[in-house]
Structure 1
Amino acid sequence: MSEIKFETLIKKALEQENPNLFDKPEAIIYKEFELAEARQRAHRGQTQPGDNLHYKFEKVRLGVAIALMQVFSDMADDNESKKVLDILKRAAKGNSIAQIDAIITKEAKAFDNLYQDLFINDDGEMLLDLFQRTLHAESKAEMDSIIHESLKFLEIIKE
């Protein structure tokens, strides 16, 4: 069920039926993460060979971050948020955590600039709060909660 919420969040935020953020459909990205996470739980915290749990979590985190930044960028209509969105989309194409980190680290200044001289309304503040929580999330439960809150929030502001 959560893969549907993940996919819906991205499609609503990007206003595209096929966003093509990843090398696979969004629902499959989430489902693969969910299966890897379940296998780790079943094996008492031991990561199974080939699961790449951390990489799969990172893909889900990027999907949520892209969705939130897309909505924020549409509202703010500024260069800083568009640049951050572009960085996140490029990172989503990464084939490893190292590649993702390299893309984001190289452009880290853009994330700092996002918050400078920022005057936003309550909706913008809520989006940035969800974005920050996404970047700091460390578990499936946290990501699921953020996805759920983000979907509810998008339903309100996209009416």
Structure 2
Amino acid sequence: MHRDDFVARFGGVFEHSPFIAERAFDAGAEIPLTAQSVHAVMCDTFRAASAAERIGVLRAHPDLAGKLAIAGGLTQDSKAEQASAGLDRLSADEHARFTALNTAYVEKFGFPFIIAVKGLTKDDILAAFETRIDNSVDQEFETATAQVEKIARLRLQSMLPGEDNV
């Protein structure tokens, strides 16, 4: 596969951060196109990025049930992921709670709350939100980056059906 094709196919795996796919391709020589192999090289690339670049990847993620969702500005992946957890069908009270938590979280940590929502309900997400907001900045950076990698794994598994699971 050519570099441009690889980036076109996998550039959105890490939200709005195609540089991860570009560098992964450059570092991976002959990357077998399996969810596991692509995930491994992309995560290695993400971990090797500068702190500012990793923060940029975190900041590229949308708020859960936030303004972009309401305005229809989410990527297709984010839209489907949030809808799978019912975040597109919140009551006014639930939406107000998410908005308040999103605001407090970003003020404290400097990036949006990130969680791999697949298999979770809106109640599961709210509970995690309310727990994680008490984390230290270092703890939450580690948790958020792990969640970004989990989201990438889930996206790759859906893109490479029938391949090995990570």
User: Taking structure 1 as the reference length, what is the TM-score of the superposition?
Assistant: 0.31
Higher helix share: 1
The structure whose Rg is larger is 2
